[in-house]
Amino acid sequence: MIQVLDQITIDKIAAGEVVERPASVIKELVENAIDSGATSITVEIEDGGISLMRISDNGCGIAKDDVPNAFLRHSTSKIRTIDDLEHIASLGFRGEALSSISAVAQVELITKTSDDTFGTKYVIHGGIEQSIEETGAPNGTTFLIRQLFYNTPARRKFLKTPMTEAGHIGDLLMHMALSHPEIAFEFRNNGQEKMRTSGNGKLKDVIYSIYGREVASNLLEIDFEMKDVHLNGFLGKPIISRGNRNFENFFFNGRYIRSNIISKAAEDAYKDFVMQHKFPFFVLHYTLPSEEMDVNVHPSKMEVRFHNQQDVYNTTYEAIHRCLLEPELISRVTIPDTPKVPVAESVSPVGMLKANVPPKEESIFSLKKPLQQAPPQIETPKEKDENYFIEQMKERVLREHQSYSAKKEDPCTEPVIPKDTFIYEKSEQLDLFEEKLLTKEARMEYTLIGQLFETYWLVQFKDNLYIIDQHAAHERVLYERTLKGMKDRSFTSQNISPPIVLNLTMTEELTLKEHMDRFTRIGFEIEPFGSGSYAVRAIPDNLFSIAKQELLVEMLDEMVDGFGSQMTPDLIDEKVASMSCKAAVKGNHKLTAMEMDALIGELLELENPYHCPHGRPTIIAMTKRELEKKFKRIV
């Protein structure tokens, strides 16, 4: 049998389209406050907004006679006919917000217009009016929303933790403040101030209040117009690119939206300026005729359709690309003077041969004269015991050369490199490829030939040539070391002074708090340092050389990507551990043979030494047969 549902049930069902979580309530009520002409808006929440939300503004208020009507479905002062939808200038217009909110919460409204002597207090629970009376109140409107979804427990159980819900509200208000720098916003969570803006109309000041000094000091102002699209705001210099899209902010006619078109246009424009898998920072305000976009796509009004998508893309790309090309975006760094200490040259294949060749003889195949001088040396800071290592190498090369020079060799044959010239007697567990380079026994036989392009190391073992990427190898070692330290707490910390101060968004702050134990477990010491700021006073010793603010922010970016999702503890540990890879030695960096041998030793103790944590190979191999085929020695 078909029957018509009662109005309360209808309202509860309809509320599901508008009210998804506490942030949905805040969004609707703050948008109404903006539409009312408010210049100051304060939002206070408790328990993530689940138990209480208080939204106050100094706008025009609601006349007493209009108050009950405001809570009826599809009642609004912002449009009159369907034609008005093509020229919407307000943020709200559907007339569903108050009806939907009051259907699933206990709502108290206090409002007063400038023409009224007294204000009006109106109470409605679950869509049922409780009372309406006069009260003393300042001009403006205050909403108190208590016990969201108290009468729809099935909806309430799907809410996240108070911390997560508060994070969503923080993100929302951050976007509201960026979209309306002329309005002073204040946000308090459980009595603590989380955000405050001055409302002086200066967008850069709002950016400073939310993102801090570092971001605000690395901005490029943009103002561009093409066809009917005008955009202005600020672009972040490539130096402050981030690990996710959370810092891409764009607003159309004062409304924060999400748009794949804008993101793609902006990222395409930044493509030549930022590294792969990095995303730009920007705050862009678009102004275009209201009839050129449709904001009536979804009840949340977060998505829009453009009449001409290509124009929006082209304008965005052109504006950003031109702006980035104008200044000189060269990062300036200062490098402290380093004392020059003579050490043995990192041994390359050519260096190996030259070490056995008389200095005046050009042919690399002639090894018949006694060694006249020590191997060539370079001046870079190395380990303290290098002098001993240098003398040892001199003796070995001389001894092997003298032994070899007694033999008569055909000058057309390949040079024979003394087999144990760079062998270090360390027993390690090795296991790789069919030839079993990485076995304990093989470790006594392989030859570390040298460094190629200051990035790759060549190792000869029997009839194979192995090439090791020093960066990928070091990444795998650091990753495994950090992960192991998190599991068995075998870490050590180093204090840093002065501490690194992080200015975090609310989402980043909540993510840090939620996973603080995992940072602590690997050696971080982090403590609150004022509103939204944290001081990092100690870090894991294996990250000491790269302890920079950007590394720590990047670690949070990695975790924010999974914010609100059901991340397992192991997955979070892996995300934190993967950040230790930033300390890995880079390509184009000279290592001594001793340093590389130690790295290989640690790498080959791992269960999986073959790939870095990001999937790139650490070792590749080429057989003697393959080389002989390349040189046409065999067919």
CATH number of domain containing 626 = 3.30.1540.20
Distance CA 120, CA 136 (A): 8
Taking the model in full, what pTM does it have? 0.61
| Structure confidence at residue 296 (pLDDT) | 55
Q: What contacts 24+ positions apart, CB below 8 Å, involve 295-301?
A: 295/88, 295/252, 295/255, 295/257, 296/85, 296/88, 299/17, 299/18, 299/94, 299/96, 300/18, 300/20, 300/24, 300/27, 301/91, 301/92, 301/255, 301/257
Given pLDDT bands bounded at 50, 70 and 90, which one contains residue 579?
Answer: low
Query: Percentage of the chain surpassing pLDDT 90?
Result: 30
Lowest mean pLDDT among 74-78, 125-129, 424-428, 621-625: 424-428
The predicted structure's pLDDT at residue 484? 77
CA dist., res. 190 & res. 188, Å (int):
7
Examine the domain organization and report whether 466 and 594 are in the same domain. Answer: yes
Position 413 pLDDT exceeds 60: no
- In this prediction, residues 123-136 reach a mean pLDDT of 94
Closest CA to 539 of 502, 495, 577: 495
DSSP per position, 324-371: HHSS--PPP---------EEEPPPPHHHHHHTTS-TT---TT---SPP
Same-domain status, 108 and 15: yes
Q: Work out the mean pLDDT of the chain and round it to a whole number.
A: 76
60-113 pLDDT, tens per residue? 999 998 999 888 865 555 444 445 445 455 564 445 788 889 999 999 999 999
Residue 38 pLDDT level (bands cut at 50, 70, 90): very high
Residue 572 in any domain: the answer is yes
316/365 same-domain check: no
Contact partners, residue 52, CB within 8 Å, separation at least 6: 44, 45, 46, 144, 145, 146
- Confirm if 267 and 280 have CB atoms less than 8 A apart: yes
Q: What is the mean pLDDT of residues 235-250?
A: 89
pLDDT at 95: 54
Residue 239 is predicted with a pLDDT of: 85
| Same domain? 443 vs 543 | yes
**Amino acid 568: pLDDT:** 59
Distance, in Å, from the CA atom of 264 to the CA atom of 277, rounded to the nearest integer, reads 13
Q: Computed from CA positions of residues 192, 194, 199, 200, in that sequence, does the dihedral angle turn out positive or negative?
A: positive
How far apart CA 177 and CA 185 sit, in angstroms, is 6
**Could you tell me the pLDDT band of residue 124, with boundaries at 50, 70 and 90?**
very high
Q: Where are the alpha helices (DSSP H) in 123-259?
A: 153-156, 162-179, 203-211, 213-216
Most confident of 9-18, 271-280, 405-414: 271-280
Q: Same domain, yes or no, for 18 and 150?
A: yes
* pLDDT of 125: 95
What is the structure's pLDDT at 368? 33
Amino acid, res. 370: P
Report which listed range, 177-191, 456-470, 601-615, 619-633, is most confident: 177-191
Residue 611 belongs to a domain = yes
Least confident of 90-104, 469-483, 511-525, 533-547: 90-104
pLDDT band of 404, cuts 50, 70, 90? very low
42, 55 Cβ separation under 8 angstroms: yes
Instruction: Name the domain boundary from 376, 393, 421.
Output: 421
Which tops the pLDDT comparison, 257 or 26?
26
pLDDT at 346 over 60: no
Most confident of 66-70, 178-182, 358-362, 407-411: 178-182
HSE-up of residue 549 (Cα within 13 Å, Cβ side): 16
> What pLDDT, on a 0 to 100 scale, did the predictor assign at position 498?
87
Q: Are residues 277 and 348 in the same domain?
A: no
Where is the domain boundary, 387, 421, 455? 421
Whether 48 maps to a domain, the answer reads yes
Res 311: pLDDT:
87
Any domain includes 180: yes
Could you tell me if 188 and 247 lie in one domain? no
User: Quick one: average pLDDT of 524-551?
Assistant: 79
- On whether residue 332 sits in a domain, the answer given is no
CATH at 190? 3.30.565.10
Q: What is the pLDDT of residue 435?
A: 45
As for how many domains the chain has, the answer is 4
**CATH code, 273:** 3.30.230.10
Question: What is the C-alpha separation between 246 and 237, in angstroms, rounded?
Answer: 16
- pLDDT surpassing 50 at residue 179: yes
Mean of pLDDT values over 253-278: 86
pLDDT of residue 170: 93
| Domain assignment of residue 206, yes or no | no
Close Cβ partners of 228 (under 8 Å, ≥ 6 residues apart):
288, 289, 292, 311
- 606 and 531 share one domain: yes
Last residue of a domain, one of 421, 443, 464: 421
pLDDT of residue 469 exceeding 70? yes
Is the same domain home to 525 and 397?
A: no
Cα–Cα distance, 491 to 478 (Å, whole number): 12
Instruction: Answer whether residue 201 is part of any domain.
Output: no
Same domain, 189 and 231: no
* Residue 200 lies inside a defined structural domain of this protein: no
pLDDT score, position 72:
83
The residue segments making up the domain with residue 628 are 424-635
Which pair of tokens denotes residue 233? 């705001």
pLDDT in tens, 522-537: 788 999 988 788 999 9
Provide the CA 238 distance to its chain's centre, in angstroms. Answer: 14
Between CA 221 and CA 229 the distance in angstroms is 17
Highest mean pLDDT among 17-26, 74-83, 278-287: 278-287
Strand-pairing partners, residue 232, are 223, 285
- Asked whether residue 77 falls in the same domain as residue 175, the answer is yes
Q: Are residue 486 and residue 620 in the same domain, yes or no?
A: yes
Band the pLDDT of 506: cuts 50, 70, 90: confident
